[in-house]
Amino acid sequence: PYISAINLFRSIKKYKTRFEKILLIAAISDQIMESADSFWKDMEPYIEKDFLFIESDEMMSIFLYIIIQAQMPEILIFCKIINNFTTQFTRGFNISYNYTLLEASLDYINELKDAKEIYLKQNGFIEARRSILDASNQRISRLSSGLGQVKDL
């Protein structure tokens, strides 16, 4: 449902200045609202407009969805540039809110990735995978050396 916001997010590469990039983040937020309004417009007679408001937790979930769907590993670099080379004054309140939302979403993704690695280590999955790979490599080596002996005969 948020394909236009995803495409807009991917276009961040095209913008050269950090200020253009931060304005794009605000435009993404606006695009999310437009997509939601478009989705719900036929439901207005059945659902009160007050219930169609996107709250900050929901907005973060939508940003997470957009980040994941956009598949842009370089977004961390763009965020670092924006953070290091803009000021609160330059960003303004609304833009700062949207940037903070993006940054929080990226932090959440990194925390999930770290938690997954810790879980795998604690439960021995990584060691088990290594031992399976080692055993497979040993079998391949034995088979390869056995084939070499067959050729010699």
Instruction: For residues 3 and 45, give the distance between their C-alpha atoms in angstroms, rounded to a whole number.
Output: 26
pTM of the predicted protein model: 0.60
pLDDT of residue 59: 83
Mean pLDDT of the chain: 75
Instruction: For residues 33 and 111, give the distance between their C-alpha atoms in angstroms, rounded to a whole number.
Output: 27
Instruction: For residues 142 and 130, give the distance between their C-alpha atoms in angstroms, rounded to a whole number.
Output: 18
For 61-115, how does the pLDDT look when each residue is reduced to its tens digit (9 = 90+)? 888 888 888 888 777 777 777 777 666 655 565 677 777 788 888 888 888 877 7
